[in-house]
């Protein structure tokens, strides 16, 4: 067989599907996402990442590996390579690859990432914080499509009436479960919602907060006061907390 024939035959050989992502990962390109299973404190997670940070998360207890990898390729149209393990520092770095979302969605997700563990804020709070106070419904849509749930804690965002609301990673029950694991009392939250209580205040500081704010939790019972609205709090001479920012300053 001539050299020309041998080269022609070699050209007909197809590379395995795993070769491209492996080569891309080796050269360090951001397009080469890796993924693995992470045993989180609440649920096991499938997590994908690249050199820009975490790119996708999905619950592993209700989705198998094929479901996650298939969803990722359909959603992002990028190669995905199985890793032996998840880097321990990955979830602590708070670095996220959000190149596939819009500028508005990015603002929503990064603001949501600032909500402290064990606390909640409303969709209206997120909208106001990013300078789009009228975009409450759009904030809800952006969080419903959060590609990095749990790590970007959309479960810490509730309805403006205090009701816990829905959750894309398992519905309201899953949302109650993860909030409870973080130290929030969902039963108490729902009681306050039914009674129309939106803010807690301190008679000693004359500051009002969202009920889960760490400052609100330190108020002694004899100094504690509840408010049904921002207007009610201001009428009584209270000003908003500078930490949880329950209302515009």
Q: Which residues are catalytic?
A: 154
Report the relative pairing of strands 207-209 and 239-240 from DSSP bridges.
parallel
Distance (Å) of CA 127 to CA 70, 136, 138, 197, 224? 32, 6, 9, 21, 28
Separation of alpha carbons 220 and 230, rounded Å: 21
Q: Which residues of 116-137 are buried (b: 16+ CB within 10 A; e: fewer)?
A: eeebbbbbbbbbbbbeeeebbe
The answer to whether 74 and 27 have CB atoms below 8 angstroms apart is no
**Antiparallel, parallel or unpaired: β 207-209 and 157-158:** unpaired
CA gap 115, 108 in Å, rounded: 11
Contact assessment for residue 155 and residue 109, using Cβ atoms and an 8 Å cutoff: no
Count the Cβ atoms, other than its own, within 10 Å of residue 101.
Answer: 18
* Of residues 151, 147, 106, the one with CA closest to residue 130: 106
Nearest to 62 by CA among 176, 170, 181, 179: 170
């Amino acid at each position: 067989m001539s050299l020309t024939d041998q080269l022609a035959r070699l050209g007909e050989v197809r590379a395995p599907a795993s070769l491209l992502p492996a080569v891309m990962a080796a050269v360090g390109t951001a397009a080469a996402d890796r993924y693995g299973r992470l045993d989180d404190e609440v649920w096991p997670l499938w997590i994908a990442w690249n050199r820009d940070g975490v790119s996708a998360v999905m619950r592993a207890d209700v989705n198998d590996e094929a479901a996650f990898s298939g969803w990722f390729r359909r959603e992002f149209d990028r190669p995905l390579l199985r890793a032996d393990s998840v880097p321990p520092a990955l979830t602590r770095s708070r670095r996220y690859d959000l190149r596939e979302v819009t500028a508005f969605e990015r603002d929503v997700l990064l603001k949501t990432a600032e909500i402290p563990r064990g606390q909640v804020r409303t969709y209206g709070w997120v909208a106001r914080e990013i300078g789009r106070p009228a975009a409450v419904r759009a904030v809800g849509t952006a969080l419903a499509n959060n590609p990095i749930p749990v790590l970007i804690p959309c479960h810490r965002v509730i309805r403006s009436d205090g009701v816990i609301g829905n959750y894309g990673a398992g519905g309201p029950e899953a949302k109650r479960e993860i909030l409870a694991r973080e130290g929030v009392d969902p039963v108490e939250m729902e009681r306050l919602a039914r009674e129309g209580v939106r803010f807690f205040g301190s008679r000693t500081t004359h500051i009002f907060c969202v009920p889960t704010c760490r400052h609100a939790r330190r108020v002694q019972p004899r100094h504690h006061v509840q408010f049904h609205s921002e207007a009610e709090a201001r009428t009584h001479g209270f000003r908003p907390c500078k930490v949880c920012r329950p209302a515009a300053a």
